[in-house]
Structure 1
Amino acid sequence: MQHDGARLSKLKEIFKRAVQEIMKEEQAVKSLILSPTFRDSFFSETTMQMSPEDVGKLFQDIKARFTEVFKAKIRQTNLDYKLNNLDKDIKDGRMSYKDIKNGEYIEEILESNIVDKKEELVKFIEKEICECDQGIVKMQNEVAELKANLKLLEYENEECEREYQMLVTEIESIIHD
């Protein structure tokens, strides 16, 4: 018989804790099932005939069934062998590079959902950068146009200022004469 590795031992420990948590509730369920006011369950037909020992047997039966299902699943998936092999490989420092060299595996990774999402994100960012660049060019053109308009307005303002000064000078000369 092979010694259980750390991962299989941990899995069994977790299962035992789960069963213990269920079994902790045995007293609460027993008092509920045997209560004279208990009538709203699928057990209600048989609870009047159950003794506390019968309820205890029911819990032991549930525990045994859980254990059977757990062991069957481990056997069905060959999980004990796989976990123990993994522990042994890790302990021996073995690494497998077969997936890295497998073209189909690499292709699957490249076609995976993560790569697709990253590709979509990159395309979105590139599109946004392009739109921002276009916006910058548009704003630079608008700034250049506004500067040209400002120079034109400054020129017109200087012309108006000169005309105003000439009018003031003429009015002053008329008033002094």
Structure 2
Amino acid sequence: MSTNEQPVTEEQIQEETLETAEPVSADEAQAEQGDLAEDSRIAELTKLAEENQQRYLRAQADFDNFRRRTQKEKEELAQYASMKLITQLLPVVDNFGRALEAAKNGGDTESFSKGVDMIFRQLEQVLDQEGLKAMDTVGQPFNPDFHQAIMQVESDDHEEGVVVEEVQKGYTLKDKVLRPAMVKVSG
């Protein structure tokens, strides 16, 4: 460097670089910005897709766990569904045992009969609490949904198609027929 030359500043280098650089057209600058924006958008969408995939996998796992848990609860419910009824019937069974023991020891037949009658009413009460109802059939019009006709009889007292006699009681459990009544119907 000669003594009369002055040092070159950074600004001069940048100006010189800008003057010697090839001019970038507006289209090329726009395309470059578009590529950068597109790359940014692709990265953003890829990240979103990965997040959604993870959410989906977690939701699927949660659903599988829920399904297994409800299946287990359903199996336990079916296994122990009668537990409440059986618990209510245990005192009835105990009373029947006491009555049979008293009969073996030569107890009074009249008191034995009263005891069995009391036990029967206790049993009916438990079943009634569970929704079991005996059907009232005699004198009712024959209904195949509630009655099973086993015989048709002639009757002067009843019109045709009326239940004359009940051979076996019918029962409903809540609103559903548990066992239809076996009846004789007037013909």
Please give the TM-score of this superposition, normalised by the length of structure 1. 0.37
Q: Hey, which of these two has a bigger chunk of helix by percent?
A: 1
Q: Higher Cα Rg: structure 1 or 2?
A: 2
TM-score, scaled relative to structure 2: 0.35
Q: Higher strand fraction: Structure 1 or Structure 2?
A: 2
